Amino acid sequence: MNISFIERENRERFAERRNIDKEHKLERKITKILQEKFSLRFVTLEEQGNREGQDSLKAQLIGTLAQCPTCCPSLGWLGRHSPEGKMAASGLWQTQFLKAAPLDAAARATFEKAVENTVEKAQRRH
């Protein structure tokens, strides 16, 4: 059974199914791995319309990755064991926008410009 403990009602209703000590230990282990092995990047999108919705740049980027014929998760990717079939099949940690239209030329230009602007802002800060 896949239970979301984000909602208070579920946290209270299914509290006996949780092992908080085990969760804290696992969170610390995951945090250490993320801090030591991962690097993250971001892109600033100034226009609100590009951020959310089925036709947004976000949706098109997700659709591009989800439908990429050469992109695939590693054999050790934990998402392969997800109870959410779409997640396991897509290779992404989500289910929203997997079938969105991939980037078109205009969206690609918008994204490239956003990357350039983000890099410029970061360089000015340093």
Residue 42 corresponds to which tokens in the numbers above?
């971001």
Task: Give the chain's domain count.
Answer: 2
- Give pLDDT tens digits for 74-102: 888 888 888 888 888 888 998 999 999 99
8 Å CB contact between 80 and 115: no
Q: Looking at residue 9, what is its pLDDT?
A: 93
In terms of domains, do 109 and 66 share one?
yes
Q: Looking at residue 49, what is its pLDDT?
A: 61
Q: Looking at residue 102, what is its pLDDT?
A: 94
In terms of domains, do 30 and 73 share one?
no
The domain of 114 spans: 42-125
In terms of domains, do 25 and 52 share one?
no
Per the model's pLDDT, the better-predicted residue between 58 and 46 turns out to be 58
In terms of domains, do 50 and 26 share one?
no
Rounded to an integer, what is the distance from CA 58 to the centroid of its chain?
10
The pLDDT of residue 126 is above 80? no
N-term to C-term CA, the chain: 48
In terms of domains, do 19 and 55 share one?
no
In terms of domains, do 34 and 49 share one?
no
Give the confidence band of 54 by pLDDT, cuts at 50, 70, 90: confident
8 Å CB contact between 59 and 100: yes
d(CA 101, CA 120): 29
d(CA 49, CA 58): 10
- Give pLDDT tens digits for 3-52: 888 889 998 999 999 999 999 999 999 999 999 998 888 888 877 666 67
Q: Looking at residue 87, what is its pLDDT?
A: 87
In terms of domains, do 77 and 116 share one?
yes
In terms of domains, do 48 and 36 share one?
no
8 Å CB contact between 72 and 83: no
